[in-house]
Amino acid sequence: MSNQTITRADLAEAVYQEVGLSRNESADLVEAVLEEISDTLVKGENVKISSFGSFSVRQKGERIGRNPKTGVEVPITPRKVLVFRASHVLKSRINEEE
Amino acid sequence: MTKSELVQRLAERNPHLYMRDVEKIVDTVFEEITRALAEGNRVELRGFGAFSVKEREARTGRNPRTGDTVEVEAKRLPFFKTGKALRERLNDEE
């Protein structure tokens, strides 16, 4: 088990190695993938990536919260939250014996 | 939107690319994230979100239907935390 943080640059490098586009274009396309997913979710449409997982937008109603420091009750406004559900394939890959 | 629709939309926006290359790009992105998580790494995509792995210890569970106790093995679970920019976009574009 290592403990590294993978970023856009690592994804772009993998695309560069795999597809044979320039490094710049590989980076642009990684960005385009993330943007297309984000734009779709912002429009309220769910995104389902087979063997990886699904992203869905959930609407949360208003509820009463509390400032943990002062104990004062404050209303939490209704909001949308993004929920990721990992697919079985992803879950089992993560639990494979090394 | 499914993965194949994602590929289609990206191909429409990048007419200079072959469809099979767009498909390879999308597959590579998700394969790399999966591989990183399987190796115990964290994937941080600023503005979009971060994928991480959480460890769950072995525990004694119960079959809710029969009440029988069952041993649940230790496992790792993938997690996603929405990035700040995306979380804000979800809430201000109405």
Q: Can you give the pLDDT at residue B72?
A: 87
Asked if A5 lies within 8 A of B25 by C-beta distance, the reply is no
3-state SS string for chain B = CEHHHHHHHHHHHCCCCCHHHHHHHHHHHHHHHHHHHHCCCEEEECCCEEEEEEEECCEEEECCCCCCEEEECCEEEEEEEECHHHHHHHHHCC
**pLDDT tens-place string over residues B19-49:** 999 999 999 999 999 999 999 999 999 999 9
What would the mean pLDDT of A81-86 be, rounded to a whole number?
A: 96
Q: Residues A84, B28: contact at Cβ < 8 Å?
A: no
* Structural domain B3-90, CATH architecture: Irregular (4.10)
Q: Can you give the pLDDT at residue A27?
A: 97
Under the banding of pLDDT at 50, 70 and 90, the label for residue A98 is: low
Under the banding of pLDDT at 50, 70 and 90, the label for residue A2 is: low
Q: Which residue of A has its CA nearest to B90?
A: A42
Q: Can you give the pLDDT at residue A28?
A: 96
Q: Can you give the pTM of this predicted structure?
A: 0.89
Reduce the DSSP state of residue A5 to 3 states and report it: strand
Question: Cβ of B9 under 8 Å from any chain A Cβ?
Answer: yes
Using CB atoms, pick whichever of A30, A53, A95 lies closest to residue B29: A30
Q: Can you give the pLDDT at residue A20?
A: 87
Under the banding of pLDDT at 50, 70 and 90, the label for residue A64 is: very high
The closest alpha carbon to B92, from A79, A50, A14, belongs to: A79
Question: Cβ of B29 under 8 Å from any chain A Cβ?
Answer: yes
Rounded to the nearest angstrom, the minimum Cα separation between B45 and chain A is 6
Q: Can you give the pLDDT at residue A3?
A: 81
Q: Which residues of A touch B76 (CB under 8 A)?
A: 94-95
**pLDDT tens-place string over residues B48-82:** 999 999 999 989 989 888 989 998 888 999 999 99
Segments making up each domain of chain B, as ranges: 3-90
Q: Residues B25, B43: contact at Cβ < 8 Å?
A: no
First to last CA, chain A: 9
